[in-house]
Amino acid sequence: MNTGAPSFLIALETSEIGALIRQSAWIYPTANIAHVLAIVLFAGAIAVMDVRMMGGMAGSDPARVVRSARSMAVVALIGVLLTGAVLFTAEASHVALNGIFQMKMALIAFGIVHALFVGNRAVRALDALGPQAPMPGFARFAGALSMLTWLGVVGLGRYIAYN
């Protein structure tokens, strides 16, 4: 435990649920594996969505591809957030003060805001486009920024262990 951490983090980590996650032989490893599996699904959906927005997979209906991939990304993201919360609870006082973890959380917040505002607008612009239509610059930009953001989150997530 990091005694210098804010008291609500210490309370979370030392709660019954925090102790249960740490003491159990299987809860933390299972949540960790599930976190990675949900990330794999999330990354797959994001890749399809963003590559289509950047003009790849021309020949497919852009709005249908992007909307389907988005739905899958939302479901996978919920899995990532829930499993991440389990990992976080077990070591809240340490990990919350880790600068890389803080950068990861800030980038996740940015990614969600970007998806809700910029991404939503870009997807609406695709509705009028047929399969071979060139992607508007705005959609290409939104796709590239989304891809960079989520790759950054994955990289930072892995890097926490070394910081």
Residues within the interface to ligand HEM (CB under 6 A): 32, 35-36, 39, 42, 77, 80-81, 84-85, 87-88, 95, 108, 153-154, 157-158, 160-161
In whole angstroms, the minimum distance from the beta carbon of 48 to ligand HEM comes to 16
87 vs 123, which CB is nearer to ligand HEM?
87
Q: Which two tokens stand for residue 91?
A: 């070591």
* Phi and psi, residue 64, nearest 5°: -65, -45
| Amino acid letter, residue 51 | V
Q: 10 Å Cβ neighbour count for 28?
A: 18
Q: Which two tokens stand for residue 49?
A: 């969505």
> CA torsion, points 74, 78, 81, 87, in degrees to nearest 10?
-140
In whole angstroms, the minimum distance from the beta carbon of 60 to ligand HEM comes to 25
25 vs 161, which CB is nearer to ligand HEM?
161
In whole angstroms, the minimum distance from the beta carbon of 83 to ligand HEM comes to 8
28 vs 65, which CB is nearer to ligand HEM?
28
